Structure formats: C-alpha cells, structure tokens
Structure 1
C-alpha cells in the first residue's frame, strides 16, 4: 500500500512540475518509477504515458524533461486520434512532435494502413516509411491490394509516393514500377506516375505511362504516352498553372495516331475569384471530329456519346442588391450543323433586385440584357432589352398578396423594336392543422392573374425563346399540400391549372404532382398532365420504388423499381422501365434494368451488372444492349476497377449485331 501511494504521489508531482514549467503536461504511470522529476524519469513495467491526446503504452520508458524526448521500448502501442500503431520502440520529441518508430504495424488514419521496419513522423500529416507496405484496405490482415517500397511518403488521407514500388494483390507481387504516387503529393517531385492498363475493342490492350514534371512553384506538367497493341498510339500533355491565390487554370491536349485516322482534342480552363463578390471562368474545347470520342480509352459514357463541344466564358460581379453577368457561348456541333446554330457573343445581363422606394410601399427592380447573335450560314443581329418593374407586397396574418408590374422594351438591329407590358398578381394563404394521430397537415392555395401585351413585334428574327412571347390574359390557380409525421414528410400534392381569356384554347391543361413515402423504403411519385377539354391523359410519369422480399423474407438492402412514361403529344412515347438492385453478401450486389417500348411492342434496352465495393477498391462488370428501330443491336461489355488513390482501370468491348 505504501509503494502504490508513492507511485501515485510521484505521478502527481511529475505532472504538476511539468505544468508549472509551461511544458507539455505529461502523465506517466508504471509498476516502477525512478529518477529526478526535474531532469529525467525512467519507468518499468506496464508503462502508460499520456500527453495531450496521445497515449503510449509499453514495457519500459524514459522521459528527459530538459530535451522533451520520450523513449518507449518493448511491446509499444501508440494511440493518437485515428492513429493506432504497434511497434518495438518509439522516440518522440514532444516539442517538435517528430517521432521515430521501429518495427511498426497499424493504422495511420481510417484509410491508411502500414507495416514498416522504420517510420519517421515529420508532422501530424506527413509520415515516411522504410522497407514497408502500405494499403488503404481497412482492417484486413491480408489486404486485397497493397504496395511495398524501400521508402515512401504518406500524407494522411490524401496520397502516397514511393520509389521502386511493388504492387501486390493478396500479398502476391504483380507489378513493379520505378515510381508510384497517389493524386496529391506534398513537396512535388518530377517522376513517373501510376501507369494505366486496360482494353477497348477499338484499340485492343493499351498501356499508358504518365510522367510528372515540376516547372517551378506555380506550374507543373504531366506528359503521357499511350501504346495500343492493335496499332497506334496516343500522346497527351496537361499544363497546370497558378498566377495568384485567386487565379489559376490548366491546358490539356490529347492526340491519337491510329492506323485508320488521326484525331485530337484541346481544352482550356481558367478560374478567377479575387473575392466572394467577383467570379469568372473561361472554358475552351475543340476537337477535330466526333470519331475522337469513339477512339478514346475513356469509360465515361457521356463523353463517348458527345455530339458537340462547348466553349464559354463568364464573369459575374455582385453587390448588395444587384448582379451583372457577362457570358460568351459558342457551340460546335460535330455533325456539321454549327452553321445553322445561333451563337451568343457576348451576352450581358444585369439584375437589380427589389429595392424599397422611399416614402412609398413599393420596391423597384430592374433587369437588362444585351446580346449579339451570329450564325455562319447567315443571319445576325443584336438585341438590347430593358425591363423596369414595381412590386407591391401585402401580408395579413396567413394571407399574402404580391403584385408585379413591368414594361419590357427590346430593340433589334434587324426587325425593329418590341414592347411588352406585364402585370401579375399572386395571392396565397397557408393553413396548417394536426390530423389526429396521423401527423401535421399543411395546405397553401394560390391564385392570381397575369396580363401580357405584346406591341410592335415587327418582323424581327426569332433568335431564342426570349423572343417568342405571345399576348395573353389569364388566371392561374393551384394548391400545394404536405403531410408530416414525426418530423418526416409522408406526402406532397401539387395541383395547378389556369384559364386564358384571349387564346383559342381558354382552359389550360391541369398539372398534378404527387409524392408519397408512407414508410422510409417505399416511394411513389406521380406526375400527370390532363387535358382541360375532356380530362384525357396527355403526359404521365409514374415511379414506384420498393423493398424486395422473397417468400416473406426480406433481402436486406435490396430494392426494386418500376417507371412508366407516356406522352400523347408528338413525338409519341410510351414505355415501361423496371429494375432491381440485390445485395449478394456483404460486398457484392447485382443490378438489372430493362426498358420496354409499349408503342412498338419490343424490348429497347437491357443492362446487367455485378457491383463490388470493398472500400479500398470497387468494381463493376456490366453487359448492356440497345435495340435500334432497324432491328440492329448495339452491345457493350465493360469491366472497370477503381483503386482508392490510384485511379481507374478497365476493359470495354463494344459492337453491333445486325438483325
């Protein structure tokens, strides 16, 4: 009892002396303690050292108070936040927070696991390992994949970089590379990056090797060479630069030299944001032909089916009540139809939001637009539009009325001037009640009037939808209803309609939108458009999502869905889609979807896929086919693997089967 009391007293005195000296407070307990608390203390047997949020356990320890050096050896365990490491010995500098660990294994973060003969901790973020193995695979004794190297640097949760790296699958070496890095590297260094290998039906197997080159503090360059084993190669260059803390960009060029043709693509991006009130971007994209997208080794479906390129620039300036935007947009259609498309070079827009008018119960607002239209095939003009407006808002308890009056004047180089008077009044009120034990019920009816008078339209060319304005006098109404229970939305219903006093078809079509979620995993969504003449259905979109059950037993996480779409108007569309997602074990799931064309009584599309998610990597094996109206079938087989911090690798085979 006397021995235990003396140990506790020594711990207290040691802690107090360190705190009074304004050093890092250290608490040390052990079976045996000896030394001078003002200079150096040694501990033996079940040693536990605590300082700040760090806990170190071991068989033996020594702490030099003057130098701030802590040494622990024998069955050492270090716990600091997400860090949990076991090692043979530890040397920790409490002043600089640098450390050296010998014979180490454990985790550095939730996505960084490591084994090494020796590890140096340079900071809380940066670690260097020697003769070690790294993996982001969480808590696996034999990880799905890992890398081993003589020396590599790890930035916790961000990246790693190593030299003469061995890539392993289940501890089996499959690839050796001189340099391997993750996406972000502190202290940038020139060298080879992670190679890419894959297969595409157009080019066979390919190998892509990037090389990273540092060009100073504010610029770098990535060069890549791609070899295709069916013939041909590719070369690319990506230049990145930083002009200031608020101005940066990149330039990317990719050239494909294939036996059948040569194709290329160029992109440029720049962003400019000196403050939260000024923001600008510029983007340019050029490609020599649409065949480029078919020949690339990308697995991006949207890029594979791209039919045009878009170049644009935007600059926005914000004030307390106003904003101005300057835009330039140029579309280049790859099918040669660009000559028939109007371009906007430039488009200037100005908005003045509601500003109170002194001594009057009104707010003033203003919008302006200046645009120059251009078309290669002929036809160009400018348009300057000015629209001042006044708004009056009156609220009385749950009732709110808002009235807006504006006058739009648009002047054209070709076609004269058009003037449009607009008046709109919107009224609404809200009713909220409790419905027994069901929940809270809320309904907001809305009704209003709208008047649009178009004067002096002349013969101006229709450049965009802003020019296509028709005179009308109409009333509109609707209601939005919500049902809540236990803070969760159970249902929503929105119904709207209207009456045009001037048009030929006076009654406007009814629009009904319904969303029901009676339980968390069951969803019904309904969107209808009904004819005002006879109530017939013109458009319907019905979606039902539900959990899956087989013989009364639920498949945990499994879901099914059905989607029906119908459009009576031209082009007439009528199809049904359905699909499932079924878990197979902890990491694997199976998904299927099908689209059936009801109008032509034929299958239009099917997609089968097996999805794997192991955390440190995920993959997808899929087979998809689409049936064309001439009876031919386009099909595609794709296998893609995404390695955490290493990127994507894949196999894609596409073809066509004639009827």
Structure 2
C-alpha cells in the first residue's frame, strides 16, 4: 500500500539544532536535474485566504563546478547495466595484450547509466576490471564523482576512488572524501568525508565523518564518528546518525522546538518520528517547560482501506506552575486528547468523528501553542454518519462542547446536540423546475436551561427561467418548526434580544410555527465594449430586483437553542432570513433593488466590480422589531486592474439613523516578487472598530522583514502584534519571530485588581533554522505568518 501522508523529512543532527532552532515547515528540496533552470515560484493570487508553502528555494546557489562533465543524455536506469554493452572511446589504444587495453587521450567508457572519463585507463575486456588515472570523472544515475585515481569492475558496479569530490544528483548533497567505494549500483561509502547541501567550496554548514554510507535503495545516509560544523567551527560530535538523501519518510529526530511564553516559561521539545509502516506512523514529542515541568506528547496517524485518522495526546504528570481562573491545577496531572476519524461504511455512506477533550478549562490557556495560537474558548467533539446521492444527502450524529475558558463557567457553552439528524434534497422535475427540501431534527441539552427537541422542515419549489441576458427565479417554500420541550420549561422565562416582547415563562410544552415563504428574484445583464487606461474591457450593467414575502408569526413562546442574528451585509439583501438557525424566522414584505457593474478584461478576468443595493419594506418587521421603511444602503467595490495591487471595500449607511452601520477597506500591494503589503479597516457600529496592517518586505534577495499588527479602537489596545526577520541562502534559511497577543479574556470571576473585563496577554518568541536538504517537520512560524499576513508564502 502506498501512503498518502504528507512527507516528513528528518533532521540528521537533531541534537545539534536543539541548541539553536525550532521545527521547520514540512517541505522538500527541489530535485532539479543538473543543468536545467531553477523552477520559478508562482506568486499566490492577490486576495487568496490561504497560500501554499513554497518549496525550498535553491535559486541562490552557485553553479556546481562538478556539473561541467554532466551528460544529460545518459540513461537513468541502473537495472539496464547487465544487458547493456560497454562502449569505449579514446584517442590512443594499445591492444598488444589480448585482454588488456591501454587507453589514453580523452578516454570515455559508457554503459547504461554509467560513464567514466579519465586521461588514461587500463581496461580488461575479459574481467571488465578497469584502472583510471588523471582527471577521473564518473557519472551514474544517482551521483557524480571526480577523483585522481579510480579502479574497479564494471560488471559488478564496484569501484574505489582516491581524493574524491562527489555530488548527489537526486539532491544537492555534496562533499569531499579521502577515498570513495562504489559497493554496487545502489550503495556507496566514503572515508574521511564531508557532506553538505551548500555550494561546492562554500559550505556554510557541513558534517565531517570517519565514514559516510549512501543507500540509494532506501534513500538513507549513515554517518559514523561525525562532527557537525557551522563554517569552520565544530559544535557537535555524533558517533552515529542517519540522514535522508531524498524525500522518503524515515524514522529519526525531527527539528526540535525552542521557545518562551509568559504562561509556561522556557520550552524545549525534541520530537522523534517513527515510520512504522507505509500506511501508519507516529511521533513522540518529549517536552520540558521551565515553569511547569515535563510533558510527553504524541501523534499517531493511520491510513487503511476505507479509513484514515489521527490521534494526538499531551500528558503532564505533575504541573508545578501557577493556576489562574476557576480551575485549581497546581500539582495535578493534566492532559489534552484529540482524535479524528473518517471511515467509509458502504457506498455513499461514511462515518466522520472527532473527539477533543482537555483535563481542565485552563489547559489551552497554559499550554496552548502561544506562537501560532489564537484564543480558544471551547472544544467541540462530534460523531456522525453521512450519506448522499445524486439529488440528496443526509446525516445522523451528535455534538458536545467543553469549556476551555478558565474565567467563565459552562453556562457560556452552546447547547449540546444529542442527537441530530438532517436530510436535504434537490430533485429536478424538468429543465426549469426543481423540488427541494431541508429537514432537521435536533435534541438540545444544557443543564440549568430549558431543553427539548426541535424539528424543522423546509420544502420548496423553485423555477429558473432566463438566458445569458436575463433571469427570473420564483421560489415557493413552506417552513414548519415544532418543539417538544422538557427540563424545566414551565418556569423558564426568556428575555433575550431575539425574543423581545416575551410576556413570561413558556406556557406550552409543544409550541410550533408554520408559515409560507415566497420570493421572486429577477435581473438583467447588459454589456458593452469599453477602454480604460489604454486597455480594452467588457463592461456589464446588471440591475436586480428581489421580492420576499413571509407572513408574521409570534415566536415569543419558542426557545432559542442555536439561533443568532447575522451581521447585515450585501448578501443579506437577497436572503429569506437574517437569523442563523431555525428558532427564529423573520417576517417580510420587502423589495430589494440592486445594481452591479463589472469590468472584464479580454481573458474574462473580473478587474472591477461595483454593487449597491437597498431593501424597501412595505410593512414593519415585527420579529426584528423595526418600523423602518428602508434598510441601510449597502455598497461594495472590488478593484484589481493589475496583478500588483487589489482594493476591496464595503459600506453601509442607514437613512433611518443617518449613521454608518458598517465600513471596511482592504488594500493589498505586491512588493517585488516575494513581498506583500496589506492594510485593512473594519468598523461595525457599537461592536467593532479595528485597524490591521501586515507586510513582508524584502530588504535583499536574502533578507526579509515580516510584521503584522491589529489594533482595536473600541478597546483602545493592540489585539495582536508580531515582528520578525527571515534569512534565506543557498542551503540555510532562518526565521525569528516575536508575538504579543490576547490569550484569554477575564470576566470578573474572583478577585481582580482591574475588575470588570480584562484582556490577558501572552508573549512568545520563536527561532527556526532549516539546513536545506537535511529534512524538516511542520513548523510553527510559517503557519502563523500565512494566517496573519494575507498572501504570505
């Protein structure tokens, strides 16, 4: 079975890196055929939320002097050696002996993937022994070799070379050796040798060993009695270690982690990877925290026919750190367990499950990944059986939550859904008519709150008429929602904002709501050719009308299990409900008018898009408790006239309050080929006002500055800030990043000198080094920068 796990390349000298660096991002060297140009990195498209990591970049490496005799036309398959003849070329041949030929003058012996060149060669035609002297150059499928003297046997693929310089062809590994032994087609050994992936003759790092053995069959190198050097300075002795010579997985140490956090102190981890089988593996990660003690973490991944999953466990035998919040954890054993599984059951059906649990509510606050960690307030665990066909899908399962905010009680958790069932269908009745239905049944559980079961059925009939120039889409739906309440519903009085106007406790055990929903969506699309700044475009003009009718139903006697009022935006102009969940359905007698115009270039790429719209209410909205005649004006503008910069903005202004309800601006500018600058401003009246800026600024082809900053005007504080520097060379890359961020929020439980709401901050600093070609594991810095810097690679 072939594994589909992401490759995990390993560190040859993990103990050395424990002194200076952290885990690097999982990526592999570019296996560039000698003499071919380096691949060009493709920049992440502007506006992309997720950018894939770039491969290790060897573009700054100097041309390898050994490649001047590389022959790209030579075969690449060592298996053909036994059936291939040996071809000999030379300027002078002495054949006085019946079996030994003495060749001189630009001598070349070639067979299959092998080629030997020298000033002079003695070759035994019977035994295929050879003795080459002077400017010896040898090439085979996996490596190049230069030496002063080389002798061996071509049939056995054996050879011994003196004063060796070698270059691996499947990687950038190279070095020198007093003597090299070609043991067979797949194995070689070097004595008194060096190894590095840096430029030949310019090794920023290398290890020197009494012997280095290369096994091309397994992709593993073995060094004995080795010393690793940075420049010419030795800093670590290792009697025995292995290292990768290609991208295949192997057991061994991964890049260690060094960091410091406010909650746990100085952290050191040294993970060890176990390549147990092609379809499952494990990682053991012992850690120590200066303020809290020792931890053992582990990961197990599996991939079997029809199933795949992952288990992560962290265990602290005894925590001697200080505890905050509502949980007293000092001296306790603590743990975190995460499990995920996806299993195919039968055709069209699968099981999907996850289990996430911490020993206490303070665990993530104390031990969370404080460099790339965002504040987490709850952990969700779920299990479901899901199925689907051409026109339907269904699921059955459950979801529970655990509170991991140490400063609040479990009252803040969402309702548990134990169990739930969903069914959706979309059945074409004709070319223009469809019948569909969304149905859901959920049992909601939460101690101390009203509990019960809710069924929501939403059948609809929709039609789609139109062409490329116009469309009309009528839709007729019916929504029925029913409850069977339990668990103290008789005395539970709900007075939250979604049930404004409630007169007292629930007086029904089985309340329900039923209503029709009618909508008509229509639009026109006009286009014409135009030009702007010397470029030709197609301009569109797209007016759109959307009518929605939903009769009013008093819903004050219905509980609110999982429903919230969604933020109003442009897409809410065409939505049949402004509430998420089924507990509330807004009433409506509305007409939305909107206008969109776009500029498309000759290849069809949208360069400019501008939209504006507003809802006109023919009757007051009783569920939303407003008597407005009109909604806020909603406008959007997206501009990307070139591949260097992009502008996205939205704005909402209410004619009812004559105030701005929402505004946002996002600007992205590409700096050179690797740099990026982002600026954004987000405002929502009474809730949020934030500025955000981030940058990757190339100082040179080797150095970059990175930074990100988020500031809350409402809270008058920096929410998140990071700054760092990156260095990249032929064979080494470095990253140093510091971060200050809000870890948790304190809500006034217990004594607090500040009182009220207080943001609790954390600091983290991390350093990572990658010796290119020695392998890596998933690092912490790259995921953080890709999350906080839009367009980072």
> Taking structure 2 as the reference length, what is the TM-score of the superposition?
0.64
Instruction: Please give the secondary structure, in 2, of the residue aligned with 1:293.
Output: helix
Question: Are 2:171 and 2:245, in contact at CA under 8 Å, matched by a contact in 1?
Answer: no
For 1:447 and 1:65, locate their aligned partners in 2 and report how far apart those are by CA, in whole Å: 89
Judged with a 3 Å threshold, the aligned counterparts in structure 2 of structure 1 residues 534 and 236 are, in CA distance, closer, same or farther, namely closer
What's the counterpart of residue 522 of structure 1? 645
Structure 1 residue 280, shift from structure 2 partner: 3.7
1:482 aligns with 2:554: no
> Any stretches of 5+ residues in structure 2 without a counterpart?
1-74, 76-81, 322-329, 486-509, 564-580, 622-626, 747-753, 782-793
For 1:316 and 1:99, locate their aligned partners in 2 and report how far apart those are by CA, in whole Å: 59
What's the counterpart of residue 537 of structure 2? 440
Write out per-residue CA displacement over residues 238-292 of structure 1, whole angstroms, 9 at most, x where no aligned residue. 34445x3222333332222332334221122223247995444322111123443
Structure 1 residue 641, shift from structure 2 partner: 0.6
- CA RMSD, Structure 1 to Structure 2 (Å): 4.7
Write out per-residue CA displacement over residues 200-236 of structure 1, whole angstroms, 9 at most, x where no aligned residue. 2555555544455676786555444334556722223
Question: Are 1:220 and 1:239, in contact at CA under 8 Å, matched by a contact in 2?
Answer: yes
Write out per-residue CA displacement over residues 351-382 of structure 1, whole angstroms, 9 at most, x where no aligned residue. 2223235xx85222222222221113343222
What's the counterpart of residue 585 of structure 2? 469
Question: Are 2:427 and 2:436, in contact at CA under 8 Å, matched by a contact in 1?
Answer: yes
What's the counterpart of residue 4 of structure 1? none
What's the counterpart of residue 641 of structure 1? 768
2:457 pairs with one of 372, 378, 386 = 386
What's the counterpart of residue 511 of structure 2? 416
Instruction: Please give the secondary structure, in 2, of the residue aligned with 1:354.
Output: strand
1:338 pairs with one of 410, 415, 422 = 410
Judged with a 3 Å threshold, the aligned counterparts in structure 2 of structure 1 residues 186 and 399 are, in CA distance, closer, same or farther, namely closer
Question: Are 2:259 and 2:764, in contact at CA under 8 Å, matched by a contact in 1?
Answer: no
> After the TM superposition, which residues 192-591 of structure 1 pair with which residues of structure 2 at under 5 Å, given as runs?
193-194=253-254, 196=256, 198-201=258-261, 205-211=266-272, 221-228=282-289, 232-242=293-303, 244-256=304-316, 257-260=318-321, 261=330, 262=332, 263-273=334-344, 277-296=348-367, 298=369, 300-302=371-373, 305-335=375-405, 336-339=408-411, 340-357=413-430, 362-396=433-467, 398-414=469-485, 415-436=510-531, 437-443=534-540, 444-453=542-551, 457=555, 459-465=557-563, 466=581, 467-485=583-601, 487=603, 488-502=605-619, 503=621, 504-533=627-656, 536-546=659-669, 560-567=677-684, 569-571=685-687, 573-591=688-706
Question: Are 1:399 and 1:430, in contact at CA under 8 Å, matched by a contact in 2?
Answer: yes
For 2:461 and 2:180, locate their aligned partners in 1 and report how far apart those are by CA, in whole Å: 73
Instruction: Please give the secondary structure, in 2, of the residue aligned with 1:301.
Output: coil
Structure 1 residue 141, shift from structure 2 partner: 3.7
What's the counterpart of residue 18 of structure 1? none
Tell me the number of residue pairs that the alignment of Structure 1 and Structure 2 aligns: 607
Question: Are 1:46 and 1:57, in contact at CA under 8 Å, matched by a contact in 2?
Answer: no
Judged with a 3 Å threshold, the aligned counterparts in structure 2 of structure 1 residues 230 and 464 are, in CA distance, closer, same or farther, namely closer
Question: Are 1:402 and 1:427, in contact at CA under 8 Å, matched by a contact in 2?
Answer: yes
The structure with the greater share of residues assigned to strand is: 1
Write out per-residue CA displacement over residues 456-513 of structure 1, whole angstroms, 9 at most, x where no aligned residue. 8572311122222112122223233222345354322122322222322231222211
Instruction: Please give the secondary structure, in 2, of the residue aligned with 1:302.
Output: coil
Higher mean C-alpha deviation, range 493-502 or range 632-641: 632-641
Structure 1 residue 439, shift from structure 2 partner: 2.0
Larger relative contact order (CA 8 Å, sep ≥ 6):
2
Instruction: Please give the secondary structure, in 2, of the residue aligned with 1:313.
Output: strand
Judged with a 3 Å threshold, the aligned counterparts in structure 2 of structure 1 residues 519 and 58 are, in CA distance, closer, same or farther, namely same
Instruction: Please give the secondary structure, in 1, of the residue aligned with 2:169.
Output: strand
Write out per-residue CA displacement over residues 8-31 of structure 1, whole angstroms, 9 at most, x where no aligned residue. xxxxxxx9xxxxxx9669887654
Question: Are 1:166 and 1:176, in contact at CA under 8 Å, matched by a contact in 2?
Answer: yes
What's the counterpart of residue 234 of structure 2? 173
Instruction: Please give the secondary structure, in 2, of the residue aligned with 1:413.
Output: strand
For 1:61 and 1:476, locate their aligned partners in 2 and report how far apart those are by CA, in whole Å: 89
Judged with a 3 Å threshold, the aligned counterparts in structure 2 of structure 1 residues 197 and 563 are, in CA distance, closer, same or farther, namely closer
Instruction: Please give the secondary structure, in 2, of the residue aligned with 1:537.
Output: strand
Question: Are 1:198 and 1:650, in contact at CA under 8 Å, matched by a contact in 2?
Answer: no
For 2:182 and 2:344, locate their aligned partners in 1 and report how far apart those are by CA, in whole Å: 39
For 2:347 and 2:611, locate their aligned partners in 1 and report how far apart those are by CA, in whole Å: 37
For 1:64 and 1:356, locate their aligned partners in 2 and report how far apart those are by CA, in whole Å: 83
Question: Are 2:254 and 2:273, in contact at CA under 8 Å, matched by a contact in 1?
Answer: no
Structure 1 residue 134, shift from structure 2 partner: 4.5
Question: Are 1:179 and 1:193, in contact at CA under 8 Å, matched by a contact in 2?
Answer: no
> Taking structure 1 as the reference length, what is the TM-score of the superposition?
0.76
Question: Are 1:64 and 1:70, in contact at CA under 8 Å, matched by a contact in 2?
Answer: yes
Judged with a 3 Å threshold, the aligned counterparts in structure 2 of structure 1 residues 62 and 378 are, in CA distance, closer, same or farther, namely farther
Judged with a 3 Å threshold, the aligned counterparts in structure 2 of structure 1 residues 44 and 562 are, in CA distance, closer, same or farther, namely same
Question: Are 1:530 and 1:536, in contact at CA under 8 Å, matched by a contact in 2?
Answer: yes
Question: Are 2:127 and 2:153, in contact at CA under 8 Å, matched by a contact in 1?
Answer: no
For 2:245 and 2:514, locate their aligned partners in 1 and report how far apart those are by CA, in whole Å: 56
Judged with a 3 Å threshold, the aligned counterparts in structure 2 of structure 1 residues 476 and 642 are, in CA distance, closer, same or farther, namely farther
For 1:508 and 1:70, locate their aligned partners in 2 and report how far apart those are by CA, in whole Å: 90
Question: Are 1:597 and 1:603, in contact at CA under 8 Å, matched by a contact in 2?
Answer: yes
Structure 1 residue 193, shift from structure 2 partner: 2.5
What's the counterpart of residue 5 of structure 1? none
Judged with a 3 Å threshold, the aligned counterparts in structure 2 of structure 1 residues 604 and 301 are, in CA distance, closer, same or farther, namely closer
Structure 1 residue 155, shift from structure 2 partner: 7.4
For 1:423 and 1:556, locate their aligned partners in 2 and report how far apart those are by CA, in whole Å: 51
For 1:441 and 1:605, locate their aligned partners in 2 and report how far apart those are by CA, in whole Å: 42
